[in-house]
Structure 1
């Protein structure tokens, strides 16, 4: 791990980009159903939308990326780009970590859409890593929404903030409901790291609900 800079490892889908909002709109078209008929509260596999009989999550996701430019056209989560710019100005090294290369034969599409999207919203980053084992990239603090990723990172001893959505409400904190929460938690963690007292799970002022 680079000890000269404070590094945050930031997931994209469901943390910086409104993945579930974008998938909901695409799924309504794919299923030929009214948008309002698809609940906003979903689990990680989107079973609540009844997609299994149409080919399931993997088929919908492939359609979304290859035919509807999901990774290029989704909107950011509120305040995410602005807060990331502020964190960058505080000298925090932003390391984007995403597992978007799981679509076989469409790696170029996924990478191109991702970089174009980051640039189009002026989202700063020092590094971008396309990988499943997020703990291997070496960040001081991680921000993720996937219950499996959060659990795996914490099992590896990685300090991880959960970004709230309907897929992860049972996961213990530290937790950020908004990007203002992210900013506060990250700045607190950076201060503790600077003074040599980083303890994300026990620091005063960190929510652990």
Structure 2
């Protein structure tokens, strides 16, 4: 109950900040933001720029829902995902609200689930938060780098990825794409070893398979 009281207090403060600019949908936006972790909410109350950014993402997510003529909990959810691309776009907007820094990667991991399980994330914010946190934990355990900014590094990584994919495909053709993507997020200095040492490669592939299996079995 104490946690609920703190959340209610945060909600009132957020509503007070949101209402002047978004009176018609202040309640909806406040509800969406309240699905974020408590520390993030507290930070938003002190950082106007952070709050504005979160609101912008929430508004984009609402626009996506309105464009498809429905809310996430509508009974005809099947139409939300007329294509996997549109479903992925909508899911990305919701995942991006959490400001993890890995929205694209997490969205891709969530889309690996069965379609019904993915659709469930749109109507159950708490479940979505759990899935996002789990995916984030999996990525961090795999030493994910935030980004590769240098273009030449990107080209080198792409070439390395092509070679690595061919090797991984021989070990696990079904999950070769996912596993290769995970391996490419390892420390760049270790990647050449994967191409030259079969034992190291097999160990890395098994670790990636275990991480994928753990993620999928927890859903």
TM-score tier, shorter chain, comes to under 0.3
Larger radius of gyration between Structure 1 and Structure 2: 2
Q: Which of the pair is proportionally richer in strand?
A: 1
Q: Choose between structure 1 and 2 for higher RCO, CA contacts under 8 A separated by at least 6 residues.
A: 1
Q: Which of the pair is proportionally richer in helix?
A: 2
| TM-score, length of structure 1 as denominator length | 0.26
